[in-house]
Amino acid sequence: MPIGYIVETEFLWGFQANVIGLSKTPPSFYYPPPTTFLGALAEVLAKEHGIGEERGKEIIPAISRNLSAIGVKPVNCFPVKYEDINRIITVKKTSGRYYPDPKDLAKSFDAPARGKTILISLNEEPPKLKWFIVFRDSTLEFNDRKIVLDENIFWKIHRLGSKESIVSITNVIATEKPDIAKGSGVTNYSFPLVEGVYPEFHVSEAWEYEIYVKPFGLRSYDDIVQYIAGKNTLPYMVPLKKTMFREARYRVKLGKNLVLYRLGEEVIVGYG
């Protein structure tokens, strides 16, 4: 039985979640990618169930295989991408020498520009994003144990992106029976351009196009790092909010095995 969650995240300033493997100055995204949100869930589950760092990487694919839909929308903010210079420590072995090395400080440090996204609030409140996530089942099979996926795990998320990307969870709504519609409809969350999704026209506000790691059906953690080779990626349409008076909406037509999940006024595209 599908179970859906609406999760509202409040940001301190924005986030850092870069496009990996392109250069030393990787650009940022408009919003944290879906797999970044899955990683935040995996961190909570690993702590709750005493799973080590190496085995913890296996939680993300386990969540992914149980995933029917995931999307994000802005509540009161507009994303602005930028780059600034960061000093980083070099940790590597080159020509038989380990770095950082006090005898060679020039090769022990670097200061590349790193992409970040600041979320500009459109009102007097801190910037907020709202997530809609639907699981096929309320329990997760992992390591011969059953892990319960309930609203408590979402309340314990504390960052989305790098360690500087601090968030607070301000609201979690759960439903065991989200309304399901087929055929066509209007969504107000980011949605994947998978086979069977036919975007017709945007009803209001602006929408942009980004490419993320595919969040559905990951077989292993290695599927995530294949982004570098351009594999296992998925284009997404993402909503932008320019005013507090209108919400971004997009009309889509759906093919077989795809549905619209609805919880009140929140509507997301997912697998049925």
Give the strands of the sheet with 249-254, arranged side by side: 184-187, 249-254, 197-204
- Residue 50 binned pLDDT confidence (cut-offs 50, 70, 90): confident
Q: In the structure, what pLDDT confidence band is assigned to residue 22 with cuts at 50, 70 and 90?
A: low
Q: Which residue type does 103 have? A: K
Type of residue at 59? I
Confidence bin at 91 (pLDDT 50/70/90) = confident
Give the per-residue pLDDT at 228.
62
Spatial strand order of the sheet with 179-181 comes to 179-181, 258-263, 266-271
Give the 3-state secondary structure of residue 140: strand
SS3 assignment, position 100: coil
- Is there a contact between 75 and 193 (Cβ–Cβ < 8 Å)? no
Strands (DSSP E) contained in 95-160 are 97-99, 109-110, 113-121, 128-135, 139-142, 145-148
CB atoms within 10 A of CB 230: 9
pLDDT at 230: 63
In this predicted structure, which of 10-14, 178-182, 223-227 has the lowest mean pLDDT? 223-227
pLDDT tier, 24 (very low <50, low <70, confident <90, very high otherwise): low
At residue 21, does pLDDT exceed 60?
Answer: no
Q: Would you say residue 204 has pLDDT above 80?
A: yes
pLDDT tens digits, 222-251: 666 666 666 778 999 999 999 999 999 999
What pLDDT, on a 0 to 100 scale, did the predictor assign at position 223? 61
d(CA 91, CA 54): 19
pLDDT confidence band for 108 (50 / 70 / 90) = low
The pLDDT of 211-226, averaged and rounded, is: 77
Average pLDDT of the residues of the chain: 87
Across the range 98-117, mean pLDDT stands at 74
Q: What pLDDT, on the 0 to 100 scale, is given for residue 195?
A: 92
Q: What domains appear along the chain, each with residue ranges and CATH number?
A: 3-83+117-271 (3.30.70.3120)
Cα–Cα distance, 157 to 217 (Å, whole number): 23
Both tokens assigned to 272: 């049925």
Confidence of residue 111 (pLDDT cuts 50, 70, 90): low
